[in-house]
Structure 1
Amino acid sequence: MKILLYFEGQNIIGKSGIGRALSHQKRALASMGIDYTLDPKATDYDLLHINTYGPKSLQMVKRAKKLGKKVVFHAHSTEEDFRNSFIGSNQLAPLVKKWLVALYQEADHLITPTPYSKKLLRSYGLTQPISAISNGIDLKKYYPDEKKEAAFRKYFHLSETQKVVICVGLFFERKGILDFVEIAKKMPEYTFIWFGDVPMLSIPAAVRRVVKKDHPKNVIFPGYINGDLIEGAYSGADLFFFPSYEETEGIVVLEALASQQQVLLRDIPVYDGWLNDRMNCYMGNDNQEFEQLIRQLVEHQLPNLSMAGFKTAQEKSITQIGAELKAVYQEVLERPYDHQIYAKVTK
């Protein structure tokens, strides 16, 4: 078995959760001894596993079908999580949905990160088999490390007693960035750090203004940071606060859980079935509730659920995801060709 992993636009979205999903797939396949290639010109593969939805992705699907290859589409994206992101995203969202459906329906099998996103795909009228498989997490990478935590605090000139609340995400309104800043304004005694970025000209003026200048001194936007610093931030902060309104999974949430960090989330459907308020994380619904929970968590007035969260992350380890991907690949390769799909994409 040999898999062609395809990812379009690495330079544009490689820093996003989808970009990290590709890295996890490579490690997951390696953990199962599955041979793979990243060469889009390769022909000696058995199955195309495609992660993106641009025009080149469609070309790859057509090429694979002409070669008689099976296609698994990783449905990371939905109309719902496209909204409230880039300038004009809400106006374009219905067209994006049509494009996604046109692409996804050409696959022999769909993979999507959660039961929630699987439900969304079914609501689009997609009928082929769909497997809900987490994007997974590299547990060893995010295990708490005192040196990494010290490097994080030194980089941001934080004293040992300074309380820090972090978030990781693109500068999208749907990620809750405006709420993050509004809450920080009411809590000047804490430092709030939002890791991540996007090209400034691609986001609405209100978000751009908040990131550039309209935020209090206790809010820091350091941009995209990886490696020891972000890993040290995950475990070395006092709280991971992720007020996103819409996700298909939320890889950064898995990273925080793997870091044995306290996690505060907005109560949205994507977490149903794997994250539970007051059991392995904390959840809120509005800024007033978030402010109260942040104070209680940072000041240790609520039970620490970090180890319960870590156990949840363990269930989504790279090795586990590798086994689930392997099972899907084997089933798809053993399945007879759908001649209707084949005829449609090779016209």
Structure 2
Amino acid sequence: MARILIATDAWHPQVSGVVRTLETTAQLLRAWGHAVEVIEPSAFPSVPTPFYPEIPLCVMRTGRVYERILRFRPDNVHISTEGPIGFWVRRFCRRVGWRFNTSYHTRFPEYLKQLARVPEGVTYRFLKWFHGASSCMMVATPSLEKELFSRGFRSPIRRWSRGVDVGTFRPRAGTATNYPRPVLLYVGRVSHEKGIDDFLKLNTPGTKLVVGDGPARAELERTYPEAVFLGYRKGEALGEVYSAADLFVFPSRTDTFGIVVIEALASGLPVAAYPVTGPMDIITRDELGALDTDLGRAVQRALVNGNPAACREEGARYTWERCTQQFLDNLVPIR
């Protein structure tokens, strides 16, 4: 059995697809008998990231990071994020001549351009440098691989898909709701870069439900008083919200996958989204939903053509066991 070190700047109490993926992957690897060490922000002093306060920027002595690595004696090193923890673990590996993997989860160039007016080219140059030394960069979808290759990323690229808990996210017979139908659901960070404004301004009948929280919530509640903001939901409570809805709307143009999309499918919900990386890899036929550059048209088509049974069958294909096996197969020995 392997000793696997995972370095990540994304961890609890953050609520995100990255955190869910890493947490579930680590749990399964341990259940399969592997030793897993996660170097994550709670062990170090930190300050909130400007424009994204949920993500801590760790301020640590490099010696503490190096001691953790040496004490664990890993067989494999996976660097999951490009923040301070990822940077220092990468630097250690380069200094001692160890090989390592990385993964590309987040479109920081697009986010930083929108939130802080940082030119995309500057951030992409940093990311190409960061991942360029990796023995293998993992990505979730074929379209993301194609895009990154076109941008000049040249590390070997391997697939690392995502999973869904089909016990939690499932159709529930007789799930009742007092909201006028159709019920359109959004689950995710309540922030402008996620495209939530495009969802809320849709001129559609029924009810718009928003699950999640974020810096734009108060503003959006004032602007769209007809929408229902539920805050965070987890586990069974989140699964029940999915199963009470009629359609899932995924308005993001910048996510690299969208775990919430496969959670919706597993719950029997068709999906309306833009034809971008993530949705275009998942919503591949009409009975699963609709993709359109006009989100309103996507909603209309998905409500007509979506097939709950087909959605459930498709969503159930995304198992965490398969996802974790991909991760394990992609790891490289440090020497």
Shorter chain as normaliser: what TM range?
0.7 to 0.9
Q: Report the Cα distance in structure 1 between the residues aligned to 2:35 and 2:170, rounded to whole angstroms.
A: 28
Deviation, 1:30, is: 3.9
Q: 2: CA distance between counterparts of 1:289 and 1:199?
A: 28
Q: Quick check: 1:327 aligned with 2:335?
A: no
The answer to whether the aligner puts 1:224 opposite 2:263 as a matched pair is no
Match of 1:57 in 2: 86
SS at match of 2:186: strand
Contact 2:109 2:119 in 1 (8 A): no
Asked if the contact 1:116–1:248 (Cα under 8 Å) also holds between the matched residues in 2, the reply is no
Q: Tell me the equivalent position of 2:35.
A: 35
Which has the bigger relative contact order, CA under 8 A and spacing at least 6? 1
Return closer, same or farther for 1:135/1:292 CA change in 2, 3 Å cut-off.
closer
Specify whether residues 264 and 272 from structure 1 end up closer, same or farther in structure 2 by C-alpha distance, changes over 3 A only: closer
User: Contact conserved, 1:32 with 1:326, CA < 8 A, in 2?
Assistant: no
Is the 2:290–2:299 Cα contact (8 Å) retained in structure 1?
no
Deviations 1:221-279 (A, max 9, x none): 23322222211111221111112223211111011112122222222243444421414
Is the counterpart of residue 194 in structure 1 residue 210 in structure 2? Answer: yes
Note if 1:309 corresponds to 2:308.
no
Partner Cα separation in structure 1 for residue 183 and residue 84 of structure 2: 42
In the superposition, relative to structure 1, how do residues 31 and 271 fare at CA in structure 2: closer, same or farther (>3 Å)?
A: farther
Aligned-partner SS, 1:131: strand
Verify the 8 A CA contact 1:169 1:195 in the aligned structure 2.
Answer: yes
Corresponding residue to 2:77 among 31, 48, 51: 48
Identity of aligned residues (%): 24
Q: C-alpha offsets along residues 261-315 of structure 1, whole Å, 9 cap, x if unaligned?
A: 2222222243444421414322232144145336xx2xxxx34423323333233
The match for 1:342 is: none
What does the per-residue CA deviation read over 1:89-134, in whole Å, with 9 as the maximum and x for residues that have no partner? x434333222222211122211011111112221232222111221
- Corresponding residue for residue 53 of structure 2: none
Cα distance change, pair 80–57 in 1 and its aligned pair in 2 (3 A): closer
TM-score under structure 1 length normalisation: 0.77
Structure 1 segment 1-347 matched on structure 2, within 5 A: 1-10=2-11, 14-30=14-30, 32-39=32-39, 41-43=68-70, 44-79=73-108, 81-82=110-111, 87-88=115-116, 90-145=117-172, 149=175, 153=177, 158=178, 162-183=181-202, 186-187=203-204, 189-200=205-216, 209=219, 211-217=220-226, 219-290=227-298, 292-293=300-301, 297=303, 302-329=304-331, 332-333=332-333
Change (3 A) 1:259 1:176: same
TM-score (norm. length: structure 2): 0.80
Aligned residues between the structures: 305
Residues 195, 223 of structure 1: 8 Å contact kept: yes
In 2, Cα distance between equivalents of 1:98 and 1:24: 31
Q: Which runs of 5+ in 2 are unaligned?
A: 40-64
> Aligned pair in 2 of structure 1 residues 33, 124: CA closer, same or farther (>3 Å)?
farther
Q: CA 1:290–1:5 in structure 2 vs 1: closer, same or farther (change >3 Å)?
A: same
> Which amino acid in 1 is paired with 2:34?
I
Q: Distance in 2 between matches of 1:280 and 1:36?
A: 36
- Distance verdict in 2 for CA 1:28–1:123, change over 3 Å: farther
Change (3 A) 1:272 1:282: closer
Displacement after TM superposition at 1:198 (Å) = 2.3
How much does 1:146 deviate?
5.6
Q: Partners of 1:273 and 1:238 in 2: how far apart?
A: 22
Using the TM superposition, give the Cα deviation of residue 84 of structure 1 relative to its aligned residue in structure 2, in angstroms: 6.5
Separation (CA, whole Å) in 1 of partners of 2:33 and 2:105 = 24
SS at match of 1:37: strand
CA distance, structure 2, for counterparts of residue 190 and residue 171 of structure 1:
21
Any gaps of 5 or more consecutive residues in structure 1? 201-206, 338-347
- Higher mean alpha-carbon deviation, 281-290 vs 106-115, is at 281-290
Q: In structure 1, the residue corresponding to 2:36 is in which secondary structure?
A: strand
RMSD in angstroms over aligned alpha carbons? 2.8
Which deviations, in whole Å up to 9, do the C-alpha atoms of 1:169-218 show, x marking residues without a partner? 223434321121111xx33x511112222235xxxxxx873x1411132x
